[in-house]
Structure 1
Amino acid sequence: MYANARTPDRRELEHIGRVLGGWQDDDGPLHLHPGDLGWYSLRGAAATAAAMRVWSDADTIVAIALLDGPDLLRFAIDPARCQDASLASRISADVGDATAGVFEPGSATIEARGAAALGEELMKRGWEPDEPWTPLRRSLAEPVEVSNLRIETVEPERTAEWVSVHWSAFRGTPMPHKRLRSFVDGWCAAADAPFFSPGRILLLRDEQDRPVAVSAVWSSGAARPGLIEPLGVSQEHRGLGYGAVMSRAAAATLREMGSSSATVCAESSNVGAVATYLAAGFVADPEVTDWRRDA
Structure 2
Amino acid sequence: MTIELGVPGVVGLERVVGKLGEWQYDGGGFQLHPGDVGWYWRFGAEQTANAVRTWGRDGEIVAVGLLDEPDLVRLAIAPGAEQDDELAEQIVADAKDPARGVLIEGRVYVDAPMESRVQELLFEEGWEADQPWQPFERDLADAVEDPGVRVEVVTAEQASTRTAVQRASFDGSTFTDERWHAMAAGAAYGQARCLLAFDGQGEAVAAVTVWSAGRGKPGLIEPMGVHRDFRGHGYGQAITVAAAAALRELGASKADVCTPGFNTGAIATYRSAGFEPLPETRAQYRKG
Same fold (TM over 0.5): yes
- Whether the aligned pair in 2 keeps the contact of 1:4 and 1:94 (CA below 8 Å) is no
| Aligned CA distance change for structure 1 residues 115 and 125 (closer, same or farther; 3 Å) | same
Matched residue type, 2:152? E
Q: Indicate the larger mover: 271-280 or 143-152.
A: 143-152
Following the alignment from structure 1 to structure 2, what is the Cα–Cα distance between the partners of residues 89 and 157?
A: 48
- Whether the aligned pair in 2 keeps the contact of 1:82 and 1:114 (CA below 8 Å) is no
**CA offset at residue 44 of structure 1?**
1.0
Residue of structure 1 in register with 2:193 after alignment: 200
Following the alignment from structure 1 to structure 2, what is the Cα–Cα distance between the partners of residues 286 and 95?
A: 25
- Secondary structure in 2 aligned to 1:83? coil
Residue of structure 2 in register with 1:229 after alignment: 222
Residue of structure 1 in register with 2:275 after alignment: 282
1:261 to 254, 260, 263: 254
Following the alignment from structure 2 to structure 1, what is the Cα–Cα distance between the partners of residues 284 and 102?
A: 15
**CA offset at residue 292 of structure 1?**
0.9
Report Cα offsets for 1:61-109 as digits up to 9, x if no partner.
0000100011110100012100112211110000001111111111111
**CA offset at residue 115 of structure 1?**
5.2
Q: What is the number of residues matched between the two proteins?
A: 288
Q: Indicate the larger mover: 87-96 or 146-155.
A: 146-155
Matched residue type, 2:23? W
Q: Are 1:190 and 2:200 counterparts? A: no
- Whether the aligned pair in 2 keeps the contact of 1:5 and 1:54 (CA below 8 Å) is yes
**CA offset at residue 14 of structure 1?**
1.1
Residue of structure 2 in register with 1:240 after alignment: 233
Q: 1:175-186 alignment to 2 at 5 Å?
A: 183-186=176-179
Following the alignment from structure 1 to structure 2, what is the Cα–Cα distance between the partners of residues 283 and 148?
A: 21
Q: Are 1:117 and 2:117 counterparts? A: yes
Residue of structure 2 in register with 1:249 after alignment: 242
- Whether the aligned pair in 1 keeps the contact of 2:68 and 2:74 (CA below 8 Å) is yes
Q: Are 1:36 and 2:36 counterparts? A: yes
Q: Are 1:96 and 2:107 counterparts? A: no
Matched residue type, 1:82? E
Residue of structure 2 in register with 1:80 after alignment: 80
- Secondary structure in 2 aligned to 1:29? coil
- Secondary structure in 2 aligned to 1:196? helix
Off by >4 Å, runs of 4+ in structure 1: none
Residue of structure 1 in register with 2:150 after alignment: 150
- Secondary structure in 1 aligned to 2:5? coil
- Whether the aligned pair in 2 keeps the contact of 1:223 and 1:260 (CA below 8 Å) is yes
Following the alignment from structure 1 to structure 2, what is the Cα–Cα distance between the partners of residues 120 and 218?
A: 30
Following the alignment from structure 2 to structure 1, what is the Cα–Cα distance between the partners of residues 286 and 14?
A: 32
Matched residue type, 1:256? E
Matched residue type, 1:196? Y
- Secondary structure in 1 aligned to 2:6? coil
- Whether the aligned pair in 1 keeps the contact of 2:3 and 2:86 (CA below 8 Å) is no
CA-based RMSD of the aligned residues comes to 1.4
Report Cα offsets for 1:1-57 as digits up to 9, x if no partner.
332321112111111111110110111111100001110000111111110000001
Report Cα offsets for 1:149-185 as digits up to 9, x if no partner.
11011124531111111111111x7x8xxx66xx111
- Secondary structure in 2 aligned to 1:160? helix
- Secondary structure in 2 aligned to 1:68? strand
- Secondary structure in 1 aligned to 2:190? coil
Following the alignment from structure 1 to structure 2, what is the Cα–Cα distance between the partners of residues 237 and 190?
A: 26
User: What are structure 1's unaligned runs of at least 5 residues?
Assistant: none
Following the alignment from structure 1 to structure 2, what is the Cα–Cα distance between the partners of residues 91 and 223?
A: 30
| Aligned CA distance change for structure 1 residues 107 and 129 (closer, same or farther; 3 Å) | same
- Whether the aligned pair in 2 keeps the contact of 1:133 and 1:265 (CA below 8 Å) is yes
Q: Are 1:26 and 2:26 counterparts? A: yes
- Whether the aligned pair in 2 keeps the contact of 1:157 and 1:185 (CA below 8 Å) is no
User: What are structure 2's unaligned runs of at least 5 residues?
Assistant: none
- Whether the aligned pair in 2 keeps the contact of 1:201 and 1:216 (CA below 8 Å) is yes
